[in-house]
Structure 1
């Protein structure tokens, strides 16, 4: 007898569609989005984690590497590696902190600001595409739900009734 090949369901169908599990669909969406971001960022020379680090550093200056790691949902070790690579590329600079001995102040260089502006333009275009077909109110609803779902995940617990 010949071997029967079963086709996998396509994206958006069966359990990969509206009838799928929320967790799986979130992962599917996140993986697809991350791939699109990585592809778009190639022309800037940044990876998605580097873009996240620069974005968080721009939004929250004067924070430590450990703080940035928490905000960007990365481990301190991963953030340390990312920052070292950004420093080697002359996109950030680190200085001793005036008030805290071991803490180092991290800041964007002019080159870092320039590449971040280009990268944000590319990523914001993806965000616009992602939100296409949703009203402002629907987008706010999705954002609120994602924040709540992320908060519950970080707390590590089940939702309260």
Structure 2
């Protein structure tokens, strides 16, 4: 479905030069990037800020945010397949494949064949992977603490319940 042409095109006399329209991009917390913004946008903005901070926090360990997510899920649920890891970490199977190859090459994870379905590869952390994850967690805990600075215990529980509820309620794609 196409937009009516009157919506997307402006008349020549309505066009302004860039100098005339010097729009300032609002900082996080301002305008639509603040409390007046759409919730979906605010969630995405918060996620982007957390991910960037996490990337910077883990950089000197040589771990990316997606690698941390994979290590975390394999620690919590040993024996996952690459497809399961992709679903749990919200990453594409291709991205998880690259991450798994790199973590395997570095000795952080090890593959074992599934006991029934021989083609399914199950991944678990090695002692090296557990040590790496522990170092990452120590840094991420500081970030997690910073995330809840303005919340008391009850408010934190409410936010966690709300976020988990969104995922549960919207999981069917509707």
TM-score using structure 2 length = 0.84
**What SS is found at the alignment partner of 2:159?**
helix
Q: 46, 53, 56: which one pairs with 1:36? A: 53
* 1:73 Cα offset (Å): 1.7
Match of 1:3 in 2: 19
Q: Does 1:99 align with 2:99?
A: no
Match of 2:37 in 1: 20
Q: Which moved more, 1:72-81 or 1:49-58?
A: 72-81
Match of 1:87 in 2: 104
Q: What is the rounded CA distance, in whole Å, between the counterparts of 1:106 and 1:10 in structure 2?
A: 42
**What SS is found at the alignment partner of 1:155?**
coil
Match of 2:83 in 1: 66
* 1:101 Cα offset (Å): 1.0
Q: Which moved more, 1:136-145 or 1:65-74?
A: 65-74
* 1:2 Cα offset (Å): 8.4
Alpha-carbon contact 2:80-2:124 (below 8 Å) kept: no
* 1:143 Cα offset (Å): 0.9
Match of 1:123 in 2: 140
Query: Is there any run of 5+ residues in structure 1 with no aligned partner, and where?
Result: none
Q: What is the rounded CA distance, in whole Å, between the counterparts of 2:107 and 2:165 in structure 1?
A: 37
Q: What is the rounded CA distance, in whole Å, between the counterparts of 1:2 and 1:140 in structure 2?
A: 47
TM-score using structure 1 length = 0.90
**What SS is found at the alignment partner of 1:124?**
helix
Q: 54, 72, 92: which one pairs with 1:75? A: 92
- Count of equivalent residues: 157
Q: Over the residues paired in the alignment, what is the CA RMSD in angstroms?
A: 1.6
Match of 1:57 in 2: 74
Q: What is the rounded CA distance, in whole Å, between the counterparts of 1:92 and 1:100 in structure 2?
A: 20
**What SS is found at the alignment partner of 1:18?**
coil
Q: What is the rounded CA distance, in whole Å, between the counterparts of 2:37 and 2:54 in structure 1?
A: 24
Q: What is the rounded CA distance, in whole Å, between the counterparts of 1:79 and 1:122 in structure 2?
A: 23
Q: What is the rounded CA distance, in whole Å, between the counterparts of 1:30 and 1:42 in structure 2?
A: 18
Query: Is there any run of 5+ residues in structure 2 with no aligned partner, and where?
Result: 1-16
